[in-house]
Structure 1
Amino acid sequence: MGKRKLTFIVAWIMVGTFILGGCSDPKIVNVDINPPTKGLLHYLKQDQMVNVSDNGYKVRVESSTAEVNSETEVKLTLRVLDSSGLPVRKFSEDMTKLMHLIVVSSDLSSFSHLHPEYKGKGIFSVAYKFPFGGDFLLISEFMPDKQGVTVYKQWISVKGKSPLAEKLISDTATKQTVGGLDVSLSMMPDAKHLAAGQTAMLNFRFTDAKTHKPVKLEPYLGTAGHCVILNDTANQYLHVHAATDMSSGENVMFHTQFPASGTYKLWAQVQYGGKVNVVPYVIRVQ
């Protein structure tokens, strides 16, 4: 067994012990009052973005056409304004990009992760063709200069034919095939014991669909992978980055905390062979 694989298995066992309360140490420490400064618990407390605020910033969206229609591509202009209504002129990179734009249909059947181009003076631009008519959620994620990650959410109505809304049903199978890759999802705690407010570990394993051999994934936007998560009403939003030290080769691990109970859809995004693969799963949180 390789060193990396052994390290991953050991870390997985440690995390499972922590989450399920199997530690034999009788001392109980509140990590929110006394946060750890090193070790596994310190690592787990990092990089958890749960419903980040807009921090008083706004994003005004304008289209190149009088109305947005699913039949034609549209140019979207996004103007980032501060709390005084003035254009924001300086931004810091967040995972190699100045802005991430998530576009999701109201029934969560359609998902896109875009990166608008910065034009200066707080203006970003991107071309996009909506897949069908209906309501779409636009989630703009950016870092104003000297500020933390900021998220602004708004709905846009798109003209055109609308398919029947898909009902969000929890996946019973943990395996699927996407883009020539077989994908398996392991969770700790498992699906039956996944609860709001507790640390959850999500591990994706990728193998070649034809040879069934493990693949070596490529870095994507500065990390091993990204995972966007929304609940069925789209009012709970999480954007999680891969746990770098616990992701290697064919494995990508994410850790997060679901803010409330309910049904969630997640989209894991990884890169292989120069192509970004999006892997959707629907899970239920108690």
Structure 2
Amino acid sequence: MFFSSRPTTHRRALAAAGTAVALALTAVACGSSDDSASMPGMEHMATDKGLSDAQDGYRLTSSQRSLVAGKQADYRFTVTGPDGKPVTGFAVDQTKRMHFYAIRSDLTGFQHIHPAMAADGTWSAGLAALTPGEWRMFASFTPNTGSGKGKDFVLSRSVTAPGRATRTPLPAAAGSTRVDGYTVTVKGEPMAGMAHPLTVSVAKDGEPVTDLQPYLDTYAHLTAFHEGDAAFAHLHPTTKVNGNHGGPDLSFHAELPTAGNWRLFLQFRTGGTLHTAALTLRVG
């Protein structure tokens, strides 16, 4: 499985859609000119970040409705502005002008990519091999010109990876998980619609880790997706970066709008290697 996400200074957690929308997401064909309109209920979500391909005149467009499963592939897309023309001016956020995420509908696949933009405004995201099934592609950006200047956007479209898809049940909520020999523990009991602090601790072989290296101007990048509809939320880091000796405890500001299970993906770097830990968090 391949993983990869992003903290934004002003991004709020994205609203999650209802169960009916989630069921439709896994069954609907993708890639219409207005991806949100092709899904029941999505036509009412134009202002909800994450689960729509358009907001405030900005639109995520792509001609790709499917990607070959089991092989590396490039997903090409464009962001158009209120004038209908491709946007080419983007502000740098966490050292990047565009943060791109791919998430499988059952939340078992996750990638975080920083794509490259051509002169005409076409972005190309190099994806690791996708497993068969429904995926959602998220583009997170901030225009530095036009009516949306300085505003954070998260737009998305759905894509199919053809083949025999097996849906994997979401792992039960747990306070800790292991990845690459590291134990990651999350402490906190967030309530839906309320700001709440979370603390993430990193240990190895039972000893606290204190050599975390900066990654995208932070010691850890924490992204969450809601079970059922794959709605996106970013949990903002509040721990200050001070050289290559972060940890063991990292603080985050969590504001998850909807109750239920959220799948958290935490990225951190040690010894030049990027690790991604995943666990399920229950929000009351």
How far the C-alpha of 1:91 sits from its partner, in A, is 0.8
Task: Give RMSD over aligned pairs.
Answer: 2.2
Distance change (3 Å), C-alpha of 1:118 and 1:212: same
Any conservation in 1 of the 2:212–2:270 contact (CA below 8 Å)?
yes
Letter in 1 for 2:152: V
The whole-number CA distance in structure 2 between the counterparts of 1:147 and 1:126 is 23
The whole-number CA distance in structure 2 between the counterparts of 1:59 and 1:224 is 30
How far the C-alpha of 1:95 sits from its partner, in A, is 0.9
Any conservation in 2 of the 1:220–1:270 contact (CA below 8 Å)?
yes
Q: Tell me the matched-pair count.
A: 231
- Establish whether residue 240 from structure 1 lines up as the match of residue 235 from structure 2: yes
Letter in 2 for 1:166: T
Letter in 1 for 2:133: G
The whole-number CA distance in structure 2 between the counterparts of 1:175 and 1:238 is 20
Listed one character per residue, the Cα deviations across residues 169-216 of structure 1 (whole Å, up to 9, x for unaligned) are: 4324x23221121222211xx3xxx3212222221111223x624232
Unaligned runs of 5+ in 1: 1-45
Q: Which residue of 2 aligns with 1:208?
A: 204
Q: Which residue of 2 aligns with 1:17?
A: none
Q: Which residue of 1 aligns with 2:13?
A: 50
The whole-number CA distance in structure 2 between the counterparts of 1:89 and 1:62 is 19
The whole-number CA distance in structure 1 between the counterparts of 2:201 and 2:66 is 42
Question: Out of 214, 223, 231, which is 2:218 matched to?
Answer: 223
Rg larger in 1 or in 2?
A: 1
Q: Which residue of 2 aligns with 1:179?
A: 180
The whole-number CA distance in structure 1 between the counterparts of 2:108 and 2:118 is 31
Listed one character per residue, the Cα deviations across residues 224-270 of structure 1 (whole Å, up to 9, x for unaligned) are: 22111111123532122311349943222211211121211111111
Letter in 1 for 2:164: K
The whole-number CA distance in structure 1 between the counterparts of 2:83 and 2:228 is 30
Letter in 2 for 1:186: K
Q: Which residue of 2 aligns with 1:119?
A: 118
Any conservation in 2 of the 1:136–1:157 contact (CA below 8 Å)?
yes
Letter in 2 for 1:232: E
Residue aligned with 1:83, SS: coil
The whole-number CA distance in structure 1 between the counterparts of 2:230 and 2:150 is 23
How far the C-alpha of 1:161 sits from its partner, in A, is 3.2
- Establish whether residue 150 from structure 1 lines up as the match of residue 146 from structure 2: no
Distance change (3 Å), C-alpha of 1:123 and 1:285: same
The whole-number CA distance in structure 2 between the counterparts of 1:176 and 1:266 is 11
Any conservation in 1 of the 2:193–2:258 contact (CA below 8 Å)?
yes
Q: Which residue of 1 aligns with 2:19?
A: none
Q: Which residue of 1 aligns with 2:42?
A: none
Listed one character per residue, the Cα deviations across residues 137-175 of structure 1 (whole Å, up to 9, x for unaligned) are: 111001111231111011101112322x12224324x23
Q: Which has the higher contact order (CA 8 A, sep 6+)?
A: 2
Any conservation in 2 of the 1:47–1:240 contact (CA below 8 Å)?
no
Distance change (3 Å), C-alpha of 1:143 and 1:268: same
- Structure having the larger proportion of residues in helix: 1
The whole-number CA distance in structure 2 between the counterparts of 1:100 and 1:229 is 15
The whole-number CA distance in structure 1 between the counterparts of 2:84 and 2:199 is 42
Listed one character per residue, the Cα deviations across residues 39-87 of structure 1 (whole Å, up to 9, x for unaligned) are: xxxxxxx745222643321122245xx9521132222211111123211
Distance change (3 Å), C-alpha of 1:176 and 1:263: closer
The whole-number CA distance in structure 1 between the counterparts of 2:162 and 2:123 is 23
TM-score by length of 1: 0.74
Listed one character per residue, the Cα deviations across residues 23-52 of structure 1 (whole Å, up to 9, x for unaligned) are: xxxxxxxxxxxxxxxxxxxxxxx7452226
1:27-106 equivalence runs, <5 A: 47-51=10-14, 53=49, 54-63=55-64, 67-106=66-105
